[in-house]
């Protein structure tokens, strides 16, 4: 996607502008260093210096376990947003999927695998309906998916009658620890469940899809300039619709992983999840206007946002501060991104008039 002028810019722009994901990667590194320093200083003040528990293997695995579900959803959101859309309904779709699975295996007597396949199909179809309306009538995706969000919450509440449903460990297979018996330096058991593997596999798959396939490049083209893409012979409407369908598939997978982790289906599982997902995506450098962004940026963004809450716990701060920290990080990330972009544009302009 990046043309040669931008490639040349790499030499001219300062450290901050190097590469597409530099902003978010730098922020992650700064954040980690800051937390480690705080931990070292506080332990030094209290007498003896200890290894900072924030970067202990146990905690790092913990962070990635907490991030997995949001991360998978952020991959789907990246595809949708690169295609020029947005999806606010993912949070409530997650609630709906978890409740549907729990209800069908516990109360309706549908076998587990049947329920999983059924729910994935339903999620894809629901998203496709929204995608159809968005692409065919070219209505604002924001508002259609907002309507979808409200409607999905209604369906989920009607199904579960506002009660929580325990799955009684029906999905425990997804929690299987792949490195059973491995111990960290502090003697704690390390866990590396299957759903983390699923997260990583999906990340790689979507990265490959977006970067190296014809389909992925079409999504970028549609997001960058719809009319130009249309004139270039791309079926714009179908591409847009397919991004939502793909998103529905990924949300269903993420919801299954989430259900495996928490073991209980309840309406609040997905509440405000869309905000976290969009935040991770945007912090990762995906532009709200479409056509810009990549999967690894989103990956780092998800990890960054996921480690904030974790760091708050490690530092024994009031958990309420995490809202403030998240807000500040979103604003800083977006501002830094905008500044880098402005500098690149200026550098390009200066070279042109030279």
Partner 1 sequence: MVENNERNSFGKVGKGFRSFLKFREAMLIFIVIGFVLIISIMSPNFLTADNIRSLLVGLALDAIMVIGMAYAIITAGLDLSIGSVLALSGVVTGKLFVMGVNIWLAALIGIIVAVLCGALSGFLIGKVGLNSFITTLGVSGIARGICFVITEGTPIPLINKLPESFKFIGGGKLKGIPLIVIIAFVILIVGDLLLRRSASMRKIYYTGSNEKAAMLSGINVVKVKFGVYIISALLAGIAGVLADARFGVATPIIGGETAMTLISAAVIGGCSFSGGEGSVFGAILGIFLLSLVTNALILLNISIYWQQLVTGIILVLAITLDHVRNKRMEQSMLRLRKI
* Contacts with partner 1, residue ranges (CB under 8 A): 133, 137-140, 142-144, 146-155, 157-158, 161-162, 275, 278-279, 282, 287-289, 318, 320-331, 334-335, 338
Q: How far is the CB of 317 from partner 1 (least distance, A)?
A: 10
Q: Which is nearer to partner 1, 202 or 286 (CB)?
A: 286
Beta strands in the chain (DSSP E): 165-166, 264-265
Q: Which is nearer to partner 1, 161 or 227 (CB)?
A: 161
Q: Which is nearer to partner 1, 65 or 305 (CB)?
A: 305
Q: Which is nearer to partner 1, 163 or 264 (CB)?
A: 163
Q: Which is nearer to partner 1, 255 or 330 (CB)?
A: 330
Strands 264-265, 165-166: pairing is: antiparallel
d(Cα 106, Cα 167) in Å, to the nearest integer? Answer: 7
Q: How far is the CB of 316 from partner 1 (least distance, A)?
A: 15
d(Cα 142, Cα 278) in Å, to the nearest integer? Answer: 12
Q: Which residues pair with 346 in a beta bridge?
A: none
d(Cα 73, Cα 220) in Å, to the nearest integer? Answer: 19
Residue whose tokens read 């960054």: 304
Q: Which residues pair with 166 in a beta bridge?
A: 264
Q: How far is the CB of 128 from partner 1 (least distance, A)?
A: 14
Phi, psi angle pair for 260, to nearest 5°: -60, -35
- Pair 313, 327: CB distance under 8 Å: no
């Amino acid at each position: 996607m990046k043309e040669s002028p931008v490639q040349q810019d790499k030499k001219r722009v300062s450290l901050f502008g190097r590469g597409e994901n530099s902003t978010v990667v730098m922020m992650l590194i700064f954040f980690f260093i800051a937390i480690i320093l705080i931990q070292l200083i506080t332990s030094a003040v209290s007498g003896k210096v200890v290894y900072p528990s924030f970067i202990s293997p146990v905690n790092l695995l913990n962070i990635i376990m907490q991030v997995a579900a949001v991360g998978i959803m952020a991959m789907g959101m990246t595809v949708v947003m690169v295609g020029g859309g947005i999806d606010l309904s993912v949070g409530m779709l997650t609630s709906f999927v978890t409740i549907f699975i729990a209800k069908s295996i516990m109360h309706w007597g549908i076998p587990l695998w049947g329920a999983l396949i059924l729910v994935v199909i339903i999620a894809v179809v629901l998203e496709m309906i929204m995608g159809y309306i968005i692409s065919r009538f070219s209505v604002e995706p924001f508002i259609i998916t907002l309507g979808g969000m409200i409607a999905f919450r209604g369906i989920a509440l009607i199904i579960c009658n506002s009660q929580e449903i325990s799955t009684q460990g029906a999905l425990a297979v997804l929690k299987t620890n792949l490195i059973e018996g491995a111990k960290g330096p502090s003697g704690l058991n390390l866990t590396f469940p299957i759903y983390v593997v699923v997260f990583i596999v999906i990340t790689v798959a979507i990265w490959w899809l977006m970067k190296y396939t014809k389909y992925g490049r079409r999504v970028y083209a549609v997001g960058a300039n719809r009319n130009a893409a249309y004139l270039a012979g791309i079926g714009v409407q179908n591409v847009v619709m397919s991004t939502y369908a793909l998103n529905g598939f990924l949300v269903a997978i993420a919801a299954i992983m989430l259900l495996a982790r928490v073991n209980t289906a309840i309406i609040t599982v997905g509440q405000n999840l869309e905000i976290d997902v969009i935040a991770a995506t945007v912090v990762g450098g995906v532009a709200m206007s479409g056509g810009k962004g990549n999967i690894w940026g989103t990956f780092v963004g998800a990890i960054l946002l996921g480690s904030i809450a974790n760091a708050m716990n490690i530092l024994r701060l009031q958990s309420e501060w995490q809202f403030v920290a998240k807000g500040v990080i979103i604003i800083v990330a977006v501002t830094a991104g905008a500044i880098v972009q402005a500098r690149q544009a200026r550098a390009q302009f200066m070279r042109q008039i030279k």
